[in-house]
Amino acid sequence: MFSKLKSRFNGNKFNKKNNDQSLNPVVSEEDIQKQQKAIANQERQRVEQEYRKQHPDQMKEEQKLSFDHKTNKLKKRLNIAIITVFGLIVLVFLILFFV
């Protein structure tokens, strides 16, 4: 309120700043998209936190299932690697024996 009174009494000093701001009321599309993404991200994080608070046991089960799934996947890869190495060793011995 006092700044408006000051600007009227002081003249051009404050009027230029106010005029510059009032001349360019356009907000770029990028700024709008950034704001929308930020708002959506905040909302997503808030909803995730609420879900964690409401369902802590389900989150633990999901983490355990994820861990079990990853462990089983690594077991399969390890078995394939062991079988491949064993097969290659047998193949090398056969080649050396018959050549």
At residue 17's C-alpha, the angle toward residues 12 and 23, to 5°, is: 110
Spatial distance between the Cα atoms of 14 and 53, rounded to a whole number of angstroms: 51
DSSP 3-33: HHHHHHHHTHHHHHHHHHHHH-----HHHHH
Instruction: For residue 90, give both structure tokens.
Output: 């047998």
Please give the pLDDT value at position 54. 85
Residue 23: the pLDDT is: 58
pTM: 0.40
> What pLDDT is stored for residue 79 in this prediction?
97
**Per-run averaged pLDDT (10 residues), the chain, 99 residues:** 64 50 72 93 92 79 83 95 97 92
Q: What is the pLDDT of residue 42?
A: 95
Predicted local distance difference test score (pLDDT) of residue 27: 81
